[in-house]
C-alpha cells in the first residue's frame, strides 16, 4: 500500500501546504518542514493542529477527500524532518533550491526519493550538482526528480478571525511529466510516487524535457511586463480585474506566441518533441474566499514587481532557457527582451543572478552530451 509511505513536504507555501493536506486526508504519514526564518507562516497550523483543504481534482470532481487535515509533525528542524522518510517533496521557489540542497545533503538516507515540485528550468541539475558535490550519490543511492509543474493550481488563504488556513485547489493537473536526474531512475521513482500524485504522473524523456517545458517562465513574466504600470498601481495579478484585462489582450497573445516559438525552436534543436500538454481539460474553479487574506505574491511590504513572477520566473526560467539557446545557437530575441526589461524594472541583473549553462556545469556540451548527462548523470 502506498499509504505506508512516509512523506516529508519541504515548504509551507501554496504548493507545499496543498500537498501536505491532500496527502494527510488520503492517509499518508506526512511531516511538514518550513525554514526557521519563516516560522510565522506555520504558526496558525501549529496553533490549530492542522488546516483545511478544499477544491478540485481537475477532472470534473472535487478532491477525493476534503476538510480539516490534522497534522502533528510540523518542524523547522531539517534532521527531524528527513529522518526515516521515504519521499521528500521539495515545494519551494526555484531561488531556494540551492539552499535546500545544501540543507538536505547531510541528512539524506539511502533509498530516499527527492522531488522538486517543480524544478522550474534545470532545478534538478542544479540541485543534483550540489548533492554530488556534498558526496550524495544520486545515481545509486538517492533518487532526485523534478516535475514539469506543480501538481496543483492552488492558493492558501489565512482566515484571520479563525487563525486558520484554508487551501483552495483550483485544479489538479490532469497529467504531470516527471523525470529523474539521471533519467535511468525515472521509472523506479514513478512507481513509488504515482499514488501521491493522484496517478497523474507521466514519463518525460529526461530533465531536459521537464525543464524546457516548465510553464511559468513563458507566462508570468510576459504579463508582468505588459501590465507593469497596472500592477504597480495597486491591482494584484491574481483574482483581480487584471485577469479579465489579460484575457482580451492581443499584445500579450502576440508576445506569448513569439516566446512559444522560440521555446519550440529550442526543443527542436535539442531533439525533443514539440507537444501540447492538456493540463486543465475540464477547466478551473475559482476560489470562493474573496475576502480572506491571500499571502501576496510580492515581497511583503516591498515593491509589487519584486515578486516571484519576475524574481523567480526570469532568473530561474527565462535566463536558463536563453542561456542554453545561446549555447546551441538558437535565437531568442523575444525572451532576451523580457529578461532585459525585467532586469531594468527591478534594477537587478537577472542574467547575472540566474541559472546559466556555466553555473549548471553544462557549458559547451553538444546535444548528444546534454542528453547523455541528463540520462546517465555523467558524461
Query: Which residues of this chain interact with its own copies, rule CB under 8 A?
Result: 223, 225-230, 232-233, 242, 244-246, 248-252, 254-255, 258, 303, 305, 333-334, 336-337, 340-341, 344-347
Q: Which helix (H) or strand (E) holds 244?
A: helix 241-247
* 63/225 with CB nearer its own copies: 225
* 254/268 with CB nearer its own copies: 254
156 contacts 202 by C-beta, under 8 angstroms: no
> Shortest distance, CB of residue 339 to its own copies, whole angstroms?
9
Rounded to whole angstroms, the Cα distance separating 8 from 81 reads: 6
Residue 29, strand partner residues? 6
* 3/241 with CB nearer its own copies: 241
178-174-68 Cα angle (round to 5): 100
> Shortest distance, CB of residue 336 to its own copies, whole angstroms?
8
Rounded to whole angstroms, the Cα distance separating 177 from 279 reads: 10
CA-based torsion, 323, 325, 331, 337: positive or negative: negative
* 221/377 with CB nearer its own copies: 221
> Shortest distance, CB of residue 256 to its own copies, whole angstroms?
10
* 194/348 with CB nearer its own copies: 348
**In the sheet where 50-55 sits, what is the strand order?**
67-70, 50-55, 164-172, 152-159
* 105/249 with CB nearer its own copies: 249
> Shortest distance, CB of residue 350 to its own copies, whole angstroms?
13
Q: Which residues of 295-317 are buried (b: 16+ CB within 10 A; e: fewer)?
A: eebbeeeeebbebbbbbbbbbbb
> Shortest distance, CB of residue 257 to its own copies, whole angstroms?
8
Instruction: Supply φ then ψ for residue 244, to 5 degrees.
Output: -65, -45
> Locate cell 549553462: which residue?
357
* 162/232 with CB nearer its own copies: 232
Cα Rg, the chain, nearest whole Å = 20
> Shortest distance, CB of residue 172 to its own copies, whole angstroms?
29
> Shortest distance, CB of residue 197 to its own copies, whole angstroms?
34
Amino acid at each position: 500500500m502506498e499509504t505506508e509511505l512516509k512523506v516529508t513536504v519541504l515548504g509551507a507555501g501554496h504548493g507545499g501546504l496543498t500537498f501536505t493536506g491532500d496527502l494527510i486526508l488520503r492517509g499518508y504519514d506526512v511531516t511538514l518542514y518550513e525554514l526557521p526564518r519563516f516560522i510565522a507562516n506555520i504558526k496558525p497550523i501549529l496553533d490549530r493542529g492542522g488546516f483545511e483543504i478544499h477544491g478540485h481534482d481537475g477532472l470534473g470532481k472535487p478532491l477525493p477527500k476534503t476538510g480539516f487535515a490534522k497534522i502533528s509533525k510540523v518542524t523547522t528542524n531539517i534532521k527531524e524532518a528527513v529522518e526515516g522518510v521515504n519521499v521528500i517533496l521539495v515545494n519551494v521557489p526555484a531561488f531556494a533550491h540551492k539552499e535546500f540542497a545544501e540543507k538536505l545533503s547531510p541528512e539524506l538516507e539511502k533509498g530516499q526519493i527527492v522531488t522538486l515540485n517543480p524544478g522550474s528550468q534545470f532545478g534538478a541539475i542544479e540541485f543534483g550538482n550540489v548533492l554530488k558535490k556534498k558526496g550524495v550519490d544520486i545515481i545509486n543511492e538517492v533518487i532526485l526528480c523534478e516535475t514539469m509543474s506543480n501538481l496543483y493550481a492552488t492558493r492558501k488563504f489565512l482566515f484571520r478571525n479563525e487563525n486558520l488556513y484554508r487551501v483552495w485547489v483550483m485544479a489538479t493537473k490532469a497529467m504531470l511529466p516527471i523525470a529523474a536526474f539521471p533519467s535511468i531512475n525515472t521509472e523506479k521513482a514513478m512507481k513509488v510516487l504515482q499514488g501521491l500524485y493522484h496517478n497523474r504522473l507521466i514519463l518525460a524523456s529526461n530533465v531536459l524535457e521537464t525543464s524546457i517545458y516548465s510553464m511559468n517562465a513563458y507566462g508570468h513574466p510576459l504579463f508582468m511586463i505588459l501590465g507593469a504600470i497596472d500592477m504597480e498601481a495597486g491591482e494584484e495579478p491574481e483574482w483581480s480585474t487584471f485577469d479579465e484585462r489579460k484575457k482580451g489582450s492581443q499584445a500579450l497573445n502576440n508576445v506569448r506566441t513569439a516566446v512559444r516559438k522560440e521555446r519550440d525552436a529550442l526543443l527542436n534543436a535539442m531533439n525533443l518533441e514539440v507537444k501540447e500538454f492538456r493540463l486543465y481539460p475540464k477547466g478551473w474553479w475559482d476560489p470562493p474566499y474573496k475576502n480572506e487574506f491571500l499571502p501576496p505574491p510580492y515581497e511583503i511590504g516591498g515593491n509589487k514587481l519584486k515578486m516571484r513572477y519576475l524574481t523567480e520566473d526570469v532568473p530561474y526560467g527565462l535566463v536558463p532557457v536563453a542561456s542554453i539557446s545561446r549555447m546551441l545557437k538558437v535565437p531568442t530575441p523575444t525572451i532576451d527582451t523580457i529578461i532585459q526589461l525585467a532586469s531594468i524594472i527591478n534594477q537587478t541583473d537577472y542574467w547575472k543572478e540566474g541559472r546559466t549553462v556555466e553555473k549548471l556545469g553544462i557549458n559547451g556540451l553538444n546535444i548528444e552530451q546534454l542528453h547523455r548527462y541528463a540520462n546517465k548523470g555523467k558524461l
